[in-house]
Structure 1
Amino acid sequence: MASQKRKKSFFTWMLTLGCFAVRNTQEAHHNHDFHFTAIGTTRSLLNLIVISSVDDVQLCHYNKQNQQVVMKKAWMYQALGAKEIERKQKKLISLEKNFSWAFRNLIKNETRSEKNHTLQVFVDCELDKDIQVSSQFQFALDGEDFCRMDEQLGHWVAMKPEAQRFKPLWDSALWNRLVKHYIQEDCINSMKKILQYSRMRENVPPDVTVSRHDAPDGRVTFFCRATGFYPRSIMLHWEKDGALGAWGQESSSGTLPNADATFFVQITLELPPSDPGTGFTCVVEHSELGTPAIFPVPGKPSMERPWAMVLSIIAVIILVLSCAGAFITWKKRKTGMRS
């Protein structure tokens, strides 16, 4: 009975935790995420770090060493107020005890009690034009996925054999109520408040370039690159003569961060040798573009251009040799006059 109460206490504190603020709501894609990282042994908790971010901008930070909630933005102190910050700080201090309990129970077969382990909790929710589009709740132990919430299936999935013994807890009505309440109240609703207060950063449309490569064996490869855009959500796809289809082997780099906190993505399309690669376009959809933007793929390089380059090089060589010959002739004449 006492063990069940401790389990409920651990997950209750974990779900009611967060750092909040307020900012102007924008009709675009936004995400709110929490990262909990605990390091400890079966005997003690060595450190606990909590980070909250909205649209990849860090809002607040906490660690066990100083037990202080630090707001990364000055306006956060005014938005929350001293009492709210103090209340959340007390929750985080209490959470340290619950992570200690987690290490003792999640790692029961550990023979070396002094060995360090890492427990991480990832919580993420996304809005698109003020509508919730997705949410994520996931646990990881020692860098490996432990369990996660499957939105489509509507239940929790054990991702390691050791996690199976916790399924009765995850499948309980209490646990599911707590998860739904946390995602709605602490992730979705708090993000809306954050978006109503102040703009985190300016949105930027993507800078798009489209290129092609013609291989000697006749294969044609297209590249469509979008970079420097914000927010992260973007969609790129290929069309031929204005229609969707499958014409070759497609691949994508995935959306990656740039050093300036914007994002980058590149998609490629490799055509078979029989396809000349005409009529293709790259279509880019991003909130800052308004409507989908169409970027035509360049045509096949003309064969006349290499010959023009060769003739230009020959002309330059002839000019240089002529100048050299004239200089040598002038030098000889000058030397003969002196003699």
Structure 2
Amino acid sequence: MYSSTLGRAPGPRNFFIVQNFRPGTTVTMIPVLLSLSLLLGTTVPQDTQAGPYSLTFLYTGLSRPSKGLPKFQAIAFLNDQAFFHYDSESKKAEPLEPWSQVEGMEDWEKESQLQNAREEIFLVTLKDIMDYYNDSKGSHTFQGMFGCDLWSNGSTGAYWKYAYDGRDFIKFNKEIPTWVPLDPAALQTKKKWEAEKVYVQRAKAYLEEECPGMLQRYLNLSKTHLDRQAPPSVSVTSHVVPGGKRTLQCLAYNFYPQGISLQWNKANKVSESESAESVLPSGDGTYQSWVVAEVSHQDRAPHFCHVKHSGLSQPLKVKWDERQKAQVEGNVAPQPQ
């Protein structure tokens, strides 16, 4: 029995609470609104250089902030790479590596002022929702996600959504245009936001014009950071488990972008999948993934881990034999653990 995976790590379009986030530190994300990714529909994977390129803003507001979790924070992403951070404690929009080395990305003082204004509106909305449900005694989370996509053929896409305590709350339909309530309390928010039609038109213009314009400007300055290719290092290991079975693991790591295919097979025949693992961020801008196979302890036939990634000039095939020695066929050598 073999397991295989064609991995694509979740990008910023899932909602997350980000803990202890400061420039130069590792981002720890706790997914709290997993269902919301379904609302965004199917998109073209970001592991192809044809696009799309994306600019995404993720806002999180907490009614009861704690140490390491500020009352409000905003993170902006270019594709899957966070490029600036703002929170209610620092009151500063600060570029992250490697974007801090790119001149002309933003006037960071003006960006700090803009995020401060958005913070005030965001937290007022959170309070309005809590008042509607008489939830003042509990701990509550309000999150927003908006942004746009840009393909190499010039076409664009956009999205703007909010959630309260992990439930879909309200989203913007730019075709009508209008805010679409997804929660009873959102009817009140819709009326408040649409009291002046100019705000609806501004939201539509932001998604269709301003956001794609910003994204194109960022790409002109730093596209090479998003187009970089880092091929995977590969490690093959094994150990015997109770019952006479042997578990083989093929680990790929230090690769970018996140799209990768890992697959075990025997004598060039793919067996039935046993389980599929995920692609996970390593914390340094690269990714890791693995695939596991369970074989009989008496099985002495060679087994192969096949690896496909855009950073490889050709697919990689790593062989495991009964002596637990890995041999590589391709252009990246296996790395011992």
Which TM-score band (shorter chain)? 0.5 to 0.7
Identity rate of aligned residues, in percent?
20
CA separation of 1:298/1:115 partners in 2, compared to 1, >3 Å: closer, same or farther? closer
| Residue 265 of structure 1, CA deviation | 0.9
SS at match of 1:50: strand
Unaligned runs of 5+ in 1: 1-25, 150-155, 303-339
| Residue 102 of structure 1, CA deviation | 1.6
SS at match of 1:249: coil
- Give yes or no for the alignment of 1:106 onto 2:125: no
CA distance in 2, matches of 1:280, 1:286: 20
CA separation of 1:175/1:296 partners in 2, compared to 1, >3 Å: closer, same or farther? farther
**Superposed counterparts of 1:15-94, under 5 Å:** 27=49, 32-40=55-63, 47-65=71-89, 67-72=91-96, 73-74=99-100, 78-81=104-107, 86=110, 88-94=111-117
Match of 2:290 in 1: 266
SS at match of 2:125: helix
Match of 1:224 in 2: 250
CA separation of 1:187/1:219 partners in 2, compared to 1, >3 Å: closer, same or farther? farther
SS at match of 1:250: coil
Match of 2:272 in 1: 247
CA separation of 1:163/1:223 partners in 2, compared to 1, >3 Å: closer, same or farther? farther
SS at match of 2:289: strand
C-alpha contact (below 8 Å) 1:132/1:188 kept by paired residues: no
Q: Which of residues 304, 309, 313 is equivalent to 1:286?
A: 309
**Superposed counterparts of 1:180-191, under 5 Å:** 185=209, 190-191=214-215
> What is the number of equivalent residue pairs in this alignment?
257
Q: Which of residues 90, 95, 111 is equivalent to 2:118?
A: 95
Q: Which of residues 224, 231, 235 is equivalent to 1:209?
A: 235
C-alpha contact (below 8 Å) 1:57/1:200 kept by paired residues: no
Q: Which has the larger radius of gyration?
A: 1
SS at match of 1:251: coil
Q: TM (normalized to structure 2)?
A: 0.56
Match of 1:315 in 2: none
Q: Which has the higher contact order (CA 8 A, sep 6+)?
A: 2
C-alpha contact (below 8 Å) 1:27/1:128 kept by paired residues: no
| Residue 103 of structure 1, CA deviation | 1.9
C-alpha contact (below 8 Å) 1:212/1:297 kept by paired residues: no
CA distance in 2, matches of 1:136, 1:67: 26
Residues 46-90 of structure 1 show CA distances to partners (whole Å, capped at 9, x for unaligned) of 9432121325544223334564433444455634458xx63x555
Unaligned runs of 5+ in 2: 1-47, 65-69, 172-179, 325-337
CA separation of 1:116/1:137 partners in 2, compared to 1, >3 Å: closer, same or farther? same
CA distance in 2, matches of 1:78, 1:259: 26
CA distance in 2, matches of 1:222, 1:124: 41
C-alpha contact (below 8 Å) 2:304/2:320 kept by paired residues: no
Larger fraction in helix: 1
Residues 114-172 of structure 1 show CA distances to partners (whole Å, capped at 9, x for unaligned) of 65532122346677878989987553434x243587xxxxxx895xx767868999xx9
SS at match of 2:290: strand
Q: TM (normalized to structure 1)?
A: 0.55
CA distance in 1, matches of 2:308, 2:76: 28
CA separation of 1:118/1:262 partners in 2, compared to 1, >3 Å: closer, same or farther? same
CA distance in 1, matches of 2:299, 2:157: 41
CA separation of 1:66/1:35 partners in 2, compared to 1, >3 Å: closer, same or farther? same
SS at match of 1:105: helix
CA separation of 1:183/1:208 partners in 2, compared to 1, >3 Å: closer, same or farther? farther
Q: State the superposition RMSD in angstroms.
A: 4.8
**Superposed counterparts of 1:98-247, under 5 Å:** 98-111=121-134, 113=136, 116-123=139-146, 138-142=161-165, 144-147=166-169, 185=209, 190-198=214-222, 199-200=224-225, 203-215=229-241, 217-243=243-269, 245-247=270-272
CA distance in 2, matches of 1:176, 1:218: 65
CA distance in 1, matches of 2:141, 2:62: 5
CA distance in 2, matches of 1:167, 1:277: 65
CA distance in 2, matches of 1:138, 1:288: 34
